[in-house]
Amino acid sequence: MQWELRQDGVEAALEKSRRGAHLWIFAERTLVARDCRIYIYNLALRLKVPVKGGAGFAEGIEVFPRQDQLKPEEFGNAIRGPLGIHRATGKRYWFYGADYQVEAQLDYLERLRKITEAEMTRFIAGMEMPEEFRPKPRIELPPYDPTRREFRILDHVRPGRTRSGNYWAQCPSCAQQGRDRSADNLAISVADPRKYKCWAGCSKEMIRAAVGHPIRVRRQIEHALSTNNGHS
pLDDT in tens, 63-106: 998 889 888 877 777 788 899 988 878 899 999 999 999 999 99
| 154 vs 18: which has the higher pLDDT | 154
Looking at 48-191, list the stretches that DSSP marks H as alpha helix, in order from N- to C-terminal side.
102-111, 117-123, 172-176
The string of pLDDT tens digits covering residues 140-174 is: 777 777 777 788 999 999 998 888 789 999 999 99
pLDDT band at 217 (very low <50, low <70, confident <90, very high): low
Measure the N-to-C terminal CA separation of the chain; round to a whole number of Å: 40
Strand partners, 34: none
* Nearest alpha carbon to residue 9 among 22, 21, 25: 25
**pLDDT at residue 180 is higher than 80:** yes
Q: In terms of pTM, does the model score above 0.85?
A: no
Write phi, then psi, for 68 (nearest 5 degrees). -70, -35
Q: Considering Cα of 126, then 48, then 200, then 87, what sign does the dihedral take?
A: negative
Residue 4 Cα to chain centre, angstroms: 22
**For 202, what's the count of Cα atoms within 13 Å in the CB-facing half-sphere?**
25
Over pLDDT 70: what percentage of the chain? 90
